[in-house]
Amino acid sequence: MRILRILHALQSVVGHRTEDTFPERAQPVEFVEGEGDSPRAVFVQRTGIARKILEDPIFEQMRFLDDYLALCDPQQTGWIRYFMDHNPEFLNGEAHRNQSRLLRPELARCVRRMDAVPPGEVVALVDEVLASEGPSTFAIARKVTAHLFGCCLQEVSGTGVTVDEEVLFGVDIFLPFPRPAHLHRCHERVEAYLAAVRRIREPGPAELLLLLTLLMMGTAPTVAAVNWAANRWLRHATLGASPGAPEPEVDFSLAPTSFVMRRCTQDTVVESHPFRRGDVVYLFLGEASGCPLHRLNSLPFGAGRHTCSGQPLSRRMLELAHAGFRGARGDWSRVQASGVVPGRSSAFVKFEGTA
Ligand code: HEM
């Protein structure tokens, strides 16, 4: 019953998002009381309050998947457990600092790899989709994102192993209430890719961590950001074709990650809202405030200690995607715009696959 109320509260925001708006919410903060031993769930619907919480050490990262992993076969979820034990996203304090330090040079390697991608390579990919049967912005976004992540994975793994699109786009562990079968499938996809890599070369600990990070938390927000950019270029190339209309620019204000979670470690008050020790807090990263500049208030990369460390990499990827859209010579008029799939409770925005 309580899970249904939490799902309903999440979906009433996430499920009604469009690509660049959040639904209007009257309450800045909403509470769902726990039943028995279960903690209270709190939904923070103002980004100003969310920022304060993300910057406050009283609110800790939490391993939100633990209860669901307890229902799964450990062998069939090994990579998810490994990821949660090693990725800074799930860690606090010293462990968080150590793993962030480990990841940083590997992420910088990926940024350098992106610097070496000729924009013409991306232009050719966009033109290939534009010339295909029934092109859509979803197909363009997947093609471009798969290519750029493929380059990063090959760089970090030190192998030429190619990655299946099912692995790249079919691994989403950031669901508030995942089914065991879904977690097993995510593990199997990661395992299939890593087994192919390890047959050629054993990645070091930092390399392994980044390979998992690219697959488990890099592709999902990036492909959404690229899809959003493709939609804007489609409008520019077709509707907004008035001479001199400014070209779309790299812009992350969409917030492809709809929410993040924290646990409150001691009773406290934030902007007059009382939080209790043990509260599980869902923080939305965008809001409809009625202000025309509301997008400037969104927190696409989070805030505080856990601010996204992949930000420079995703910015470089988006720059390449824009170069591809700008340089494409194909016909945009046949392209179908893909909108956000309604009703999903994943932390990541998903676009409709119309192709
Ligand atoms: C448009 C693309 C991206 C968006 C919008 C995005 C968004 C976010 C957000 C909101 C967080 C904060 C999570 C929290 O507070 O719990 C985060 C954390 C993180 N992201 Fe990203 N992300 C993107 C791409 C990437 C990429 C490409 C990578 C690396 C491959 C990456 C790696 C990470 C890591 C490691 C963290 C955890 C940082 C920490 O806890 O210190 N992200 N991301």
Using one digit for the tens of pLDDT, what is the confidence trace for 209-233?
A: 999 999 999 999 999 999 999 999 9
The CB of 321 under 6 Å from ligand 1? The reply is no
CA of 86 to the centre of ligand 1 (A): 14
Q: Whose CA is nearest to atom 6 of ligand 1?
A: 301
The CB of 89 under 6 Å from ligand 1? The reply is yes
Question: Which tens digit of pLDDT belongs to each residue from 303-347?
Answer: 999 999 999 999 999 999 999 999 999 999 999 999 998 877 789
CA of 307 to the centre of ligand 1 (A): 7
Report the pLDDT value the prediction gives residue 294, as an integer from 0 to 100.
61
The CB of 248 under 6 Å from ligand 1? The reply is no
The CB of 256 under 6 Å from ligand 1? The reply is yes
Q: Whose CA is nearest to atom 4 of ligand 1?
A: 221
> What's the mean per-residue pLDDT of the chain?
93
Handedness of CA 109, 255, 175, 17 (dihedral sign): negative
Atom of ligand 1 nearest to the CA of 304: 15
The CB of 265 under 6 Å from ligand 1? The reply is no
- Domain residue spans in the chain? 2-334
Distance (Å, whole) CA 12 – CA 173: 21
The CB of 306 under 6 Å from ligand 1? The reply is yes
Q: Whose CA is nearest to atom 39 of ligand 1?
A: 306
The CB of 349 under 6 Å from ligand 1? The reply is no
Distance (Å, whole) CA 104 – CA 249: 27
Asked whether the beta carbons of 258 and 343 are under 8 A apart, the reply is no
Residues pairing with 74 in the sheet: none
The CB of 136 under 6 Å from ligand 1? The reply is no
As given in the structure block, the two tokens for residue 342 are: 């309604």
Q: How far is CA 239 from the centre of its chain?
A: 29
The CB of 300 under 6 Å from ligand 1? The reply is yes
Q: How far is CA 283 from the centre of its chain?
A: 14
Backbone phi and psi for residue 344, each to the nearest 5 degrees, phi listed first: -85, 150
Q: Whose CA is nearest to atom 19 of ligand 1?
A: 308
Distance (Å, whole) CA 72 – CA 103: 28
CA of 262 to the centre of ligand 1 (A): 15
The CB of 100 under 6 Å from ligand 1? The reply is yes
Runs of H (alpha helix) within 174-310 = 180-200, 205-213, 219-237
Distance (Å, whole) CA 297 – CA 304: 15
Atom of ligand 1 nearest to the CA of 303: 15
Atom of ligand 1 nearest to the CA of 262: 16
Q: How confident is the model at residue 293 (pLDDT cuts 50, 70, 90)?
A: low
Distance (Å, whole) CA 215 – CA 114: 17
The CB of 213 under 6 Å from ligand 1? The reply is yes
Helix (H, G, I), strand (E, B) or coil at 29: strand
Q: Whose CA is nearest to atom 35 of ligand 1?
A: 309
If you average pLDDT over residues 17-23, what whole number do you get?
A: 83
Question: Which tens digit of pLDDT belongs to each residue from 51-92?
Answer: 999 999 999 999 999 999 999 999 999 999 999 999 999 999
For residue 67, count CB atoms less than 10 angstroms from its CB and return exposed for 0-12, middle for 13-18, buried for 19 or more: exposed
pTM here is: 0.95
The CB of 286 under 6 Å from ligand 1? The reply is no
Question: Which tens digit of pLDDT belongs to each residue from 139-179?
Answer: 999 999 999 999 999 999 999 999 999 999 999 999 988 99
**Residue 355: is its pLDDT beyond 50?**
no
**Residue 290: is its pLDDT beyond 70?**
no
Distance (Å, whole) CA 59 – CA 266: 8
CA of 228 to the centre of ligand 1 (A): 18
If you average pLDDT over residues 174-190, what whole number do you get?
A: 94
Q: Which CATH architecture has domain 2-334?
A: Orthogonal Bundle (1.10)
